[in-house]
């Protein structure tokens, strides 16, 4: 039997070239969707990881990826992280993520995002999108004009608005929990803390830390953003490369992922890594173990940065900012539980948090066999989207 397959342009490819399904199987994804409207510049990818607990919820980010493969990898990793984030935070949502390939500083148009919204509408509620890196409330409003399956829309439209302040608050509370574990006190006063990135989450986080009299260092690939944040918070600006060589108490990645990798990990000198970025570790298993062996406490990113998803999920019941902040403050206790489980079972914090998240998914998933005339999501759908 011939192990090759014909494609529409008459080329013959070996089945070994078809690696996408292998990636989906390896990471337990349900669906990968490609969205193309070249006339408006839209090249987007939607990854749906797991819908056991509910519809997949996760932001859409816009980034100038170096390759389409890099964009796919980002979508797959981020969507998986959202599944675990929702599960360990006690939310009834699955994990999804979307990426739009393009320069968020120059390529945005209303037509692009309305086209993206139409694709999201076509998924019929399997994926709920929200704001992420490179996006603002303006773009979410454009998406909302074409689909009801969007959260994090402006407060003027009945949504919760920009989730960054709540995400930052969760990172701050998680950082204090990590300090409690490492030092016996959750005070961050006089702690040397480096924030990688000067975007929305980093800005709100820096403000919290400045109020607690932490000694701050800031870097960003856009130097003017770092300088602006430093002037506001009294931080010291360092170069993107220098951030890895500082002698710190806490290193807080708040930009893109994979910053702890084979090239950087040996240069890092700190007690704690706790940041708002997703997928901070390039190789989750390898680098989490290496950090533990070096005595560096790592706060699993999908636990500590869950404030955003907690905030936008609260829209489903009618947004209440106070309740969203109260639930986000529980990240402090969730992380302490992860650290305790890690220590008691001789695991890395990443392994511990994965197990705790998977146990909830398995537990709730086990009741899916109980007959119901209508699914939970079908019952909620009318309430969630009756605007």
Q: Residue 66 is encoded by which pair of tokens? A: 């170096």
Looking at residue 45, its pLDDT comes to 98
Query: What is the token pair recorded at 164?
Result: 């960054």
Task: Count CB atoms within 10 A of the CB of residue 245.
Answer: 13
Dihedral class, residue 180 (left if φ above 0, else alpha if ψ from -120 to 50, else beta): alpha
Kindly report the number of other CB atoms within 10 A of residue 138's CB atom.
11
Please state, in angstroms and as integers, the Cα–Cα distance from residue 223 to each residue in 14, 193, 218, following that order: 46, 19, 10
Mean pLDDT of 278-282: 94
Report which of residues 80 and 374 the model is more confident about: 80
pLDDT value at 289 more than 80: yes
Name the H helices within the chain: 20-26, 68-88, 110-122, 137-144, 164-183, 200-211, 223-233, 284-293, 301-304, 307-313, 321-329, 331-344, 349-365, 376-385
Q: Is the pLDDT of residue 113 over 50?
A: yes
Given a cut of 70, whether residue 7 has pLDDT beyond it is no
Place of tokens 């060589």: 245
* pLDDT value, residue 380: 40
| Residue with the larger pLDDT of the pair 218 and 162 | 218
The 10s digit of each residue's pLDDT in 293-352 is 999 999 999 999 999 999 888 877 677 888 999 999 999 999 999 999 999 999 999 999
> How far apart (Å, rounded) are the C-alpha atoms in residues 236 and 319?
37
In terms of phi and psi (left: phi > 0; alpha: psi -120 to 50; beta: otherwise), the region of 383 is alpha
List active site positions.
97
Q: Locate tokens 């980002």: which residue?
A: 74
Segment 360-379 shows an average pLDDT of 66
pLDDT value at position 225? 96
User: What is the number of alpha carbons within 13 Å of residue 313 lying toward its C-beta?
Assistant: 26
Predicted local confidence at residue 25, as pLDDT? 85
> What pLDDT is attached to residue 13?
36
Q: For residue 46, what are the CA distances in angstroms to 111, 249, 333?
A: 18, 37, 32
Region 177-189: mean pLDDT is 98
Give the pairing type, strands 60-63 and 94-101.
parallel
29-71 pLDDT, tens per residue?
999 999 999 999 999 999 999 999 999 999 999 999 999 999 9
Q: How confident is the model at residue 369 (pLDDT cuts 50, 70, 90)?
A: low
How large a percentage of the chain has pLDDT more than 70? 90
Closest CA to 197 of 232, 172, 170, 221: 221
pLDDT value at residue 370: 65
Can you give the pLDDT at residue 169? 98
Pairwise CA distance, residues 163 & 87, whole Å: 19
From residue 226, how far is each of 121, 132, 165, 200, 230 by CA, in Å? 37, 19, 18, 12, 6
Mean pLDDT, rounded, for 149-161: 82
Mean pLDDT of the chain: 89
Taking 70 as the threshold, does the pLDDT of residue 216 lie above it? yes
Distance CA 39, CA 41 (A): 6
Candidates 112, 106, 169; CA nearest to 134 is 106
Mean pLDDT for 265-287 is: 96
Average pLDDT (85-89) is 95
What is the predicted pLDDT for the residue at 27? Answer: 87
Cβ-based neighbours of 352, under 8 Å, separated by 6 or more? 338, 339, 341, 342, 345
**What is the set of domains in the chain, with CATH numbers?**
29-81+93-155 (3.40.50.10860), 165-361 (3.40.50.720)
């Amino acid at each position: 039997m011939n192990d090759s397959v014909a494609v529409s342009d008459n080329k013959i490819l070996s089945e070994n070239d078809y690696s996408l399904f292998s990636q989906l199987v390896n990471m337990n994804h349900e669906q990968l969707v490609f969205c193309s409207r070249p006339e408006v510049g839209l090249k987007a990818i939607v990854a749906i990881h797991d819908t056991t607990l509910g519809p997949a919820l996760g932001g859409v980010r816009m980034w100038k990826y170096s390759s389409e493969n890099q964009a796919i990898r980002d979508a797959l990793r981020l969507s998986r992280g959202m599944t675990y984030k929702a599960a360990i935070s006690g939310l009834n949502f699955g994990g999804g993520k979307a990426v739009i390939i393009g320069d968020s500083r120059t390529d945005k148009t209303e037509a692009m995002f309305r086209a993206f919204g139409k694709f999201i509408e076509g998924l019929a509620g399997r994926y709920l999108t929200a704001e992420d890196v490179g996006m603002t409330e303006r773009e979410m409003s454009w998406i909302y004009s074409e689909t009801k399956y969007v959260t994090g829309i402006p407060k003027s439209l009945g949504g919760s608005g920009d989730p960054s302040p709540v995400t930052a608050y969760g990172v701050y509370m998680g950082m204090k929990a990590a300090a409690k574990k490492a030092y016996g006190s959750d005070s961050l006063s006089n702690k040397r803390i480096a924030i990688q990135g000067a975007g929305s989450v980093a800005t709100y986080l820096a403000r919290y830390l400045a109020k607690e009299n932490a000694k701050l260092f800031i870097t960003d690939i856009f130097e003017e953003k770092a300088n602006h944040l430093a002037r506001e918070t009294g931080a010291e600006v360092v170069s993107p490369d220098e951030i890895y060589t500082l002698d710190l108490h806490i290193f807080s990645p708040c930009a893109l992922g994979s910053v702890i990798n084979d090239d950087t990990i040996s240069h890092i000198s700190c007690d704690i890594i706790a940041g708002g970025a997703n997928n901070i570790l390039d190789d989750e298993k390898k680098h989490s173990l290496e950090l533990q062996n070096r005595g560096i406490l790592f706060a699993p990113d999908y636990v500590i940065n869950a404030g955003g998803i907690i905030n936008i999920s609260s829209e489903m019941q009618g947004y209440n900012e106070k309740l969203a902040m109260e639930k986000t403050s529980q990240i402090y206790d969730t992380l302490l539980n992860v650290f305790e489980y890690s220590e008691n079972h001789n695991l890395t914090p990443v392994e511990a948090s994965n197990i705790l998240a998977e146990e909830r998914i398995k537990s709730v998933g086990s009741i899916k066999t109980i007959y119901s005339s209508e699914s939970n999501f079908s019952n909620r759908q009318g309430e969630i989207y009756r605007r």
